[in-house]
């Protein structure tokens, strides 16, 4: 029997803030994917998990001792409109463990059946989208971007109905926590200040323990969560990631990326890029993500305000509003600074000499990529070759190869300022840049090929080959070359992603 050392603080400390709920039984479970590295990180027995006991566990059929499955409740602004009650409609928190580094991690199911928060949904998930979550999440992890992670995917043996019939699956997801902006909005909207305080103090204990018990801790929690989001969104933008559904229920307090539904990576650089089938207005387009993050954080600020002041004290209310407004108004500067830090690394610059100059250099580069519809990932990667002395692979990405020359001259001037003629500086720069600019990202057409083979033909080999390339995104090898090739422009133009699939 599998042993997991659960220590379930959410279940224990927050009674009344969730609904206990059992997973549905899977008729014919089959383990499709096990993340052994993550299992090891969690101190779990990956050999046992790879066997029949693991399959029964990840299917939700046999609950390990100490698991206390529960559905969390939350609210959320979806595309700007407030839904006062969402919650885990097809997810369950199984419990928490302390990982090998001493970090508390949630272990949760997605696709494990109906809960009191399922509304009209079936509570289920399909193989394709769950394996998609594995691919994109592991890519993000390998790119050094904070993310929830997939521990396992089990095919349930059931059919789920969407726009067709698909094989069903349960994903086991690991997260620093599942607390979201929407968690706070739920209790704030109901005026349940006691529960709001409980969950806020719980969040502080979990993510910002140094703030526990301090007098201004709720303001500080907002500041900390905003700081994490500034870093996170800057990282997204620097790899061309588009989350696709940045509703407030899909934004964590921990700063991890969550909910790999309609997300996708941009190919040719264009800030207006949108792939989600339902994002008609481009609210969650690539370039809008920092603005939306700020908007979501303003919703978190509103939700936390009742904890900061007593409503009857007008002067205190004004002060608190001014304090949270200051955080929200500072967010763009935090974001800009995080973005520039990442851009400097991508440009191969090390010295924080002149923010305006470096930022203009990055902006001019991006404007050039946009003007010539150049692949974002390859352009950065080929810039590293230019640092090593060969600009031709970069020029070859442009329909007019000379178009990049004036910008290259500016960039070389910035590099030269740092190098002061030292021999080997170019090679060293190229090496650094090849650790900051991935060669492989989860390109949409390759993801689709891998998922179709798995879902339609039960062939997981394309999935595993792609996953291996994504787990070593900076290594330019012959085996990974196929994954670095952009999709034909007409394929990308017609590409659509879907929510809640």
Catalytic residue annotation: 249
Q: Could you say whether residue 162 binds ligand AMP (CB under 6 A)?
A: no
Is the separation of the CB atoms in 255 and 231 below 8 Å? yes
- Which pair of structure tokens corresponds to residue 164? 């067709």
The partner in contact with residue 499, picked from Mg ion, ligand AMP, none with C-beta cut-offs of 5 to 8 angstroms by kind, is ligand AMP
Q: Could you say whether residue 89 binds ligand AMP (CB under 6 A)?
A: yes
Q: Exactly one of 133, 138, 208, 259 binds Mg ion (CB under 5 A); which one?
A: 259
Cα(first)–Cα(last) distance of the chain, in Å?
33
Binding mask 204-243 for ligand AMP (x = CB under 6 A): ----------------------------------------
Q: What single string gives the DSSP state of each residue in 212-277?
A: TT-TTHHHHHHHHHHHHHHHHHHHHHHHTEE-S---GGG-BSS--B---SS-EE-SB--TT---BT
The partner in contact with residue 89, picked from ligand AMP, Mg ion, none with C-beta cut-offs of 5 to 8 angstroms by kind, is ligand AMP
Taking CB atoms, the residue at the shortest distance from ligand AMP is 121
Residues in 94-123 that interact with ligand AMP by CB under 6 A:
117-118, 121-123
Closest distance between ligand AMP and the C-beta of residue 345, in Å?
32
Compare residues 96 and 133 and give the one whose CB is closer to Mg ion. 133
Compare residues 27 and 121 and give the one whose CB is closer to ligand AMP. 121
Compare residues 261 and 306 and give the one whose CB is closer to Mg ion. 261
Query: d(Cα 284, Cα 282) in Å, to the nearest integer?
Result: 5
Residues in 237-256 that interact with Mg ion by CB under 5 A:
250
The partner in contact with residue 88, picked from ligand AMP, Mg ion, none with C-beta cut-offs of 5 to 8 angstroms by kind, is ligand AMP
Count of CA atoms in the C-beta half-sphere (13 A) of 275: 25
Residues in 239-258 that interact with ligand AMP by CB under 6 A:
245, 247, 249-250
Q: Residue 380 burial by CB count (10 A; 0-12/13-18/19+): exposed, middle or buried?
A: buried
List helix spans (H) across 348-424. 355-371, 376-387, 392-395, 405-419
Is the separation of the CB atoms in 372 and 400 below 8 Å? yes
- CB crowding 277-299: b at 16 or more within 10 Å, else e: ebbeeebbbbbbbbbbbbbbbbb
Closest distance between Mg ion and the C-beta of residue 261, in Å?
7
Compare residues 258 and 415 and give the one whose CB is closer to ligand AMP. 258
Q: What single string gives the DSSP state of each residue in 145-202?
A: --B-EEEEEEEEEEEEESSSEEEEEEEEEEES---BHHHHHHHHHTT-HHHHHHHHHH
Query: For residue 482, how many other CB atoms are within 10 A of its CB?
Result: 13
Q: Exactly one of 11, 21, 56, 90 binds ligand AMP (CB under 6 A); which one?
A: 90
Q: Exactly one of 41, 88, 279, 375 binds ligand AMP (CB under 6 A); which one?
A: 88
Quickly count helices (H) and strands (E) in the chain. 18, 12
The partner in contact with residue 201, picked from ligand AMP, Mg ion, none with C-beta cut-offs of 5 to 8 angstroms by kind, is none
Is the separation of the CB atoms in 74 and 87 below 8 Å? yes
Nearest to 454 by CA among 169, 264, 258, 243: 169
Compare residues 120 and 478 and give the one whose CB is closer to ligand AMP. 120
Count of residues engaged in binding ligand AMP, rule: CB under 6 A: 20
What does DSSP say about strands 264-265 and 241-242: parallel, antiparallel, or unpaired? antiparallel
Closest distance between ligand AMP and the C-beta of residue 107, in Å?
17
Compare residues 180 and 346 and give the one whose CB is closer to ligand AMP. 180
Closest distance between Mg ion and the C-beta of residue 3, in Å?
31
Q: Could you say whether residue 500 binds ligand AMP (CB under 6 A)?
A: yes
Nearest to 209 by CA among 177, 162, 166: 177
Q: Could you say whether residue 259 binds ligand AMP (CB under 6 A)?
A: yes
Query: d(Cα 389, Cα 383) in Å, to the nearest integer?
Result: 10
Compare residues 180 and 217 and give the one whose CB is closer to ligand AMP. 180
The partner in contact with residue 361, picked from ligand AMP, Mg ion, none with C-beta cut-offs of 5 to 8 angstroms by kind, is none
Strand partners, 81: 78
Closest distance between Mg ion and the C-beta of residue 287, in Å?
22
Q: Could you say whether residue 69 binds ligand AMP (CB under 6 A)?
A: no
- Which pair of structure tokens corresponds to residue 184? 């706070």
Q: Could you say whether residue 173 binds ligand AMP (CB under 6 A)?
A: no
The partner in contact with residue 358, picked from ligand AMP, Mg ion, none with C-beta cut-offs of 5 to 8 angstroms by kind, is none
Give me Rg for the CA atoms of the chain: 23
The partner in contact with residue 118, picked from Mg ion, ligand AMP, none with C-beta cut-offs of 5 to 8 angstroms by kind, is ligand AMP
Compare residues 125 and 268 and give the one whose CB is closer to ligand AMP. 125
Closest distance between ligand AMP and the C-beta of residue 85, in Å?
9
Q: Could you say whether residue 124 binds ligand AMP (CB under 6 A)?
A: yes
Tell me, what DSSP letter sits at residue 63? Answer: P
Compare residues 264 and 415 and give the one whose CB is closer to Mg ion. 264
Q: Exactly one of 29, 87, 95, 473 binds ligand AMP (CB under 6 A); which one?
A: 87
Query: For residue 244, how many other CB atoms are within 10 A of its CB?
Result: 25
- Can you say how many angstroms the Cα of residue 9 is from the centroid of all Cα atoms in its chain? 24
Q: List interacting residues with ligand AMP (CB under 6 A).
A: 86-91, 117-118, 121-124, 245, 247, 249-250, 259, 261, 499-500
Q: List interacting residues with Mg ion (CB under 5 A).
A: 250, 259
């Amino acid at each position: 029997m599998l042993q997991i050392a659960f220590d379930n603080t959410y279940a224990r400390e927050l009674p009344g803030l969730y609904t206990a709920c059992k997973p549905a039984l899977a008729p014919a479970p089959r383990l499709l994917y096990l993340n052994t590295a993550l299992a090891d990180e969690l101190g779990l027995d990956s050999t046992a998990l790879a066997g029949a006991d693991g399959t029964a566990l990840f299917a939700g059929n046999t609950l390990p001792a100490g698991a206390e499955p529960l559905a969390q409740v939350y609210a959320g602004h979806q595309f700007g409109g407030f839904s006062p009650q969402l919650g885990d409609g097809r997810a369950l928190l199984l419990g928490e463990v302390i990982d090998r580094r001493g970090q508390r991690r949630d272990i949760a199911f997605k696709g494990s059946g109906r809960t009191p928060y399922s509304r009209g949904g079936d509570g289920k998930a399909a193989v394709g989208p769950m394996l998609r979550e594995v691919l994109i999440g592991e890519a993000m992890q390998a790119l050094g971007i904070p993310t929830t992670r997939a521990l396992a995917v089990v095919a349930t043996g059931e059919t789920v109905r969407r726009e067709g019939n698909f094989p069903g699956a349960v994903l086991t997801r690991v997260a620093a926590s599942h607390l979201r902006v929407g968690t706070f909005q739920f209790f704030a909207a109901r005026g349940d200040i006691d529960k709001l305080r409980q969950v806020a103090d719980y969040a502080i204990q979990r993510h910002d323990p140094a703030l526990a018990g301090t007098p201004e801790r709720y303001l500080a929690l907002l500041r900390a969560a905003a700081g994490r989001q500034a870093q996170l969104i800057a990282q997204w933008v620097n790899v061309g990631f588009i989350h696709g559904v940045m509703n407030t229920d899909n934004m964590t307090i921990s700063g991890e990326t969550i909910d790999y539904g309609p997300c996708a990576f941009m190919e040719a650089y264009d800030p207006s890029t949108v792939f989600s089938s339902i994002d008609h207005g481009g609210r969650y387009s690539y370039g809008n993500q920092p603005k939306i993050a700020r908007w979501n954080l303003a919703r978190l600020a509103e939700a936390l305000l009742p904890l900061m002041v007593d409503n009857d004290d007008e002067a205190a209310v004004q002060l608190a509003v001014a304090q949270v407004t200051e955080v929200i108004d500072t967010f763009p500067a935090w974001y800009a600074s995080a973005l520039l830090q990442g851009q400097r690394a991508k440009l191969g610059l090390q010295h924080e000499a002149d923010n305006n100059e470096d930022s203009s250099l990055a902006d001019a580069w991006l404007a050039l990529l946009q003007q010539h519809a150049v692949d974002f990932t390859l352009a950065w990667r080929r810039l590293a070759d230019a640092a090593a002395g060969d600009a031709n692979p970069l020029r070859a990405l442009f329909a007019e190869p000379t178009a990049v020359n004036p910008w290259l001259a500016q960039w070389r001037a910035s590099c030269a300022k740092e190098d002061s003629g030292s021999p080997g500086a170019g090679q060293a720069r190229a090496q650094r840049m090849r650790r900051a600019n991935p060669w492989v990202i989860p390109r949409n057409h390759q993801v689709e090929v891998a998922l179709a083979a798995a879902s339609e033909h039960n062939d997981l080999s394309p999935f595993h080959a792609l996953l291996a390339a994504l787990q070593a995104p900076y290594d330019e090898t012959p085996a990974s070359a196929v994954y670095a090739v952009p999709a034909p422009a007409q394929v990308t133009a017609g590409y659509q992603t879907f929510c809640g699939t």
